[in-house]
A and B are shown apart, each in its own frame.
Chain A
Amino acid sequence: MKTLVWVEHDNVSVKDATLAAVTAAGKLGEVHLLVAGKGCGSVGEQAAKIAGVGKVHVADDAAYEHALAENVAPLIVELMGHHDAFVAPATSHGKNIAPRVAALLDVMQISDILSVESEDTFTRPTYAGNAIATVKSSDAKKVITVRGTAFDKAEMQGGSASVEAVSATGDKGLSSFVGAEIAKLERPELTSAKIIVSGGRALKDSETFQQVIIPLADKLGAAVGASRAAVDAGYVPNDYQVGQTGKIVAPEVYIAVGISGAIQHLAGMKDSKIIIAINKDEDAPIFQVADLGLVGDLFKIVPELTEKL
């Protein structure tokens, strides 16, 4: 099987999420990459070094600068004439583009896969991760998005793929990019962090969140996450949200502070290697999944913990 993987990038460097998608695609057969962007030559060179990649298609055109689905999907559909499967990371951009490609190819997408069982059979989570479905596709071409935390990342070196320019399919004129507000992060990115310290509604307000959670995260070199309750209450911006409708993470250590553990939150973090919970309610559902639990007042415990580490 020849598989085309959409490379997520910012026109400067390859994003991590792509690497897990490459590993998943490798289980299907020959891996080709698509780098579509504007002035993205250096991304193409980086992509060619990813281990296990046979060919890199580079489409350099203003129409692809912001990965607008209306412009990128037709390009992918054209390349799918020579490929049997299309794979994208299940990131916000991947989830935006892949179903548009699937419908244009008249196939059903297989979303957010956890494993490749065979060329046409995959596992994927449903019901907020409470049920794992094994599904078999009868479509001639497969369109798949990959859960980044479920696959190892392909090495960014060792590969020597050929790079081939592909001609652009043009701007469809349906949509345009206006602007972006990207939150500044001075610490590791949530989805690739080894340690995450996450806060919930019990943190009271934005200021307390900063005072309690941030020093602990800094001490551990950890990324900072939050429950939906903390985000909705305005303690932190919404891209901190871990859960079914936020980010799916699987770090080595997940420290849940003042988070009760609703199923929607657990859906986003229960594949973490070690879960540590600090909560004053000893019956909180988070303790049912926590490897280490400490019952008590987080406003006393967390500063003491930060100091003693």
Chain B
Amino acid sequence: MKILVPVKRVIDYNVKPRVKMDGTGVDLANVKMSMNPFDEIAIEEAIRLKEKGVATEIIAVSIGEPKAQETLRTALAMGADRAILITSETEVEPLGVAKLLAKVVEEEQPGLVILGKQAIDDDSNQTGQMLAALLGRPQGTFASKVDVDGDSVSVTREVDGGLETVKLSLPAIVTTDLRLNEPRYASLPNIMKAKSKPMAQKTPADYGVDIAPRLTTLKVTEPPKREAGIKVADVDELVGKLKALGVA
């Protein structure tokens, strides 16, 4: 079966984001961008399923500005077979992304779509669930283990309090949690090879999807700053302060 893996270009997870002075958003000019960490895990899982002989082809797809092709090249260098870039100059919300992905799924008919559980920029945690809803397919969110068996897939999910396992009929939608796997690095030869792998260029209009945003960001502010604290000299002083606070 084919596996479709949507990937997003986001601010690198090591960068401390800065809120713009005018309150319109986060300053992304000259900031290092990378593939969303959860999406790397999604690509890795797809590759492992291909290595096990479960998957036949891995298609990476990204929606965003033209630079998102760099993210797709990374996915190709890791082991994806081909890529689809849907270019949009304006930011597309999870609902719009899910609608576009639903069209790609209709075209490509993958047995599995593996997404990251959330993007570390908008922290929405919605796209996978929305895609499953639009397609009328089952969802295995926050997966820490994925086992394909015939026409179903068992997904162990990280839930509050522990783990739970669900069985989904294929085709299905899975979203990755951190502990699903350790993504591989792309080797230099594979980075070179990725340059010649096919990448289709599309626009939202090609799919006839309305991506007009439903939410308007009125302003973006920094979170309230904590007041600088004090350092205590030793345990006795710490115990004294804790007692004064009524903790002990």
Contact = CB atoms under 8 A, between A and B. Distances in A.
A97 B219 CA distance: 28
Interface in A90-118: 91-93, 95-104, 106-112
Contacts of B218: 121, 134-136
A111 B242 contact: no
Contacts of A121: 218
B160 A92 contact: yes
B104 interface: no
A237 interface: yes
A86 interface: no
Contacts of A181: 162-164
B226 A220 contact: no
A233 interface: no
Interface in B187-244: 213-223, 226-232, 234-236, 238-239, 241-242
A127 B126 contact: no
Contacts of A247: 160
A215 interface: no
A93 B231 contact: no
Interface residues of A, number: 88
A73 B168 contact: no
A292 B236 contact: no
B104 to A, nearest CB: 16
Contacts of B177: 245
A276 B232 CA distance: 10
A177 B164 contact: yes
Interface string B137-178: 111111010000000001001111111111111000000011
A91 B133 CA distance: 19
A131 B120 contact: no
Interface stretch (B12-20, B73-81, B106-114): B12-20
B1 interface: no
A128 B14 CA distance: 11
Contact of A174 (B168, B178, B227, B241): B168
Contacts of B124: 109, 111
Contact of A263 (B16, B126, B134, B214): B16
B65 interface: no
Contact of A110 (B16, B215, B235): B215
10 contacts: A96-B129, A96-B141, A99-B94, A109-B130, A130-B19, A133-B220, A177-B164, A178-B154, A178-B164, A180-B163
Given A288-B226, A305-B239, 5 more contacts: A69-B129, A108-B213, A134-B221, A282-B231, A309-B239
Which are the 4 A-B pairs with shortest beta-carbon distances? Answer: A99-B129, A103-B130, A103-B133, A291-B229
Interface of B: 11, 13, 16-17, 19, 25-26, 93-95, 98, 117-118, 120-134, 136-142, 144, 154, 157-169, 177-179, 213-223, 226-232, 234-236, 238-239, 241-242, 245, 247-248
